[in-house]
Amino acid sequence: MPRPGRNTYSDQKPPYSYISLTAMAIQSCPEKMLPLSEIYKFIMDRFPYYRENTQRWQNSLRHNLSFNDCFIKIPRRPEQPGKGSFWALHPNCGDMFENGSFLRRRKRFKVMITSEHLQKPSDAAHYLQQQARLRMTALGTHLPQMTSYNLSVSQPSTFKHPFAIENIIARDYKMPGSLAFSTMQSMSTGYQIHNQLTTAWPHMYSGNMIDAEYTAYGVPLKSLSHGAQSLPAIPVPIKPAPASVASIPALHAHLPAFLCGSPQSLSPTSPTQSSPATPSPTSLLHSVAVHCQEVT
């Protein structure tokens, strides 16, 4: 449960486990894979609590990355210079948080021997890297340097993964006249989200003060507890059919639906910008492609 006590929310520990936080970070970027440093950055940008005691929580986070099968280490390729490997979510770990709790998973994800594919982390890593390359190829660019993360803010499908960043913060971007992170200090915006938070965590959000940082997390609680949680977090089958890996190009069919972020409005430090609730796939792809060119 969230830790009550502090007067302000901004320095309060977020109600998410390290696994959740890491999953959020990974889900937030189009490639669905991030280096450790970017995971750190994502968390610190959004959760002021983690701007302190970095040694402590980062050690814990690294421990989680190594210890939990739901995270896969993906080696860098020669065209991807940088320190450390990329980290991705295992394709089969989509329903870890089926009960909607971000504090405690329903069960620990373990790589099952029963699956024909993606048994070994190396298999999944290869598979995921292929996916990332395909995504970038479809966008007319190559794998990014991970200088910034993007958020997929909407998609034609109604599915939103429980701890996908779409669910954590997307509602802010979907609001008419929605505000970007830098202006999430807005009390009017925060008020609506605050009401939801007080419903879920009354002991935590019962004060009059509305935390500007926390409002940015705007968790759509209904989707957390009643959504299609059993669906995959990423556009791949949870249990791929034998042919699925071989037919990876079929993922192109998912791209317009999935890579639909407006990255410029999603950077925590970017200026205020609203994004259309239902942008066309074409415009979405274009915006992503433009962004990818900017970061490369």
Partner DNA sequence: GCATGTTTACGGTTAT
Partner DNA sequence: ATAACCGTAAACATGC
Number of chain residues interacting with DNA (CB under 7 A): 34
Query: What's the min distance (Å) between Cβ of 49 and DNA?
Result: 10
| Residues 88, 66: Cα–Cα separation, whole Å | 12
Which residues in the 81-110 window bind DNA by CB under 7 A? 83-85, 87, 99, 101, 103-108
**Which residue type does 283 have?**
S
- CA-nearest of 234, 279, 236 to 256 is 279
**Interface with DNA includes 66 (CB under 7 A)?**
yes
> Which position among 6, 8, 37, 296 is part of the footprint of DNA (CB under 7 A)?
37
Q: Cβ closer to DNA: 175 or 221?
A: 221
Please list, in sequence order, all residues whose beta carbon lies within 8 angstroms of the beta carbon of residue 143, skipping any fewer than 6 positions away: 31, 77, 79, 80, 132, 133, 136
SS3 283: helix
The whole-angstrom distance between residue 133's C-alpha and the CA centroid of its chain comes to 18
**Interface with DNA includes 63 (CB under 7 A)?**
yes
Q: Cβ closer to DNA: 107 or 252?
A: 107
Please list, in sequence order, all residues whose beta carbon lies within 8 angstroms of the beta carbon of residue 158, skipping any fewer than 6 positions away: 228
Q: Cβ closer to DNA: 95 or 172?
A: 95
- CA-nearest of 260, 123, 96 to 131 is 123
Query: What's the min distance (Å) between Cβ of 107 and DNA?
Result: 4
**Interface with DNA includes 197 (CB under 7 A)?**
no
**Interface with DNA includes 65 (CB under 7 A)?**
yes
**Interface with DNA includes 4 (CB under 7 A)?**
no
Which residues in the 105-164 window bind DNA by CB under 7 A? 105-108
Cβ atoms within 10 Å, residue 112: 11
Query: What's the min distance (Å) between Cβ of 75 and DNA?
Result: 9
Query: What's the min distance (Å) between Cβ of 191 and DNA?
Result: 28
Query: What's the min distance (Å) between Cβ of 121 and DNA?
Result: 8
Per-state percent for the chain, helix, strand, coil, to nearest 5: 40, 5, 55
Whether residue 89 contacts residue 72, with contact meaning beta carbons closer than 8 Å, is answered with: yes
Give the binding site for DNA (CB under 7 A). Answer: 1, 16-19, 35-37, 40, 55-57, 59-60, 62-68, 73, 83-85, 87, 99, 101, 103-108
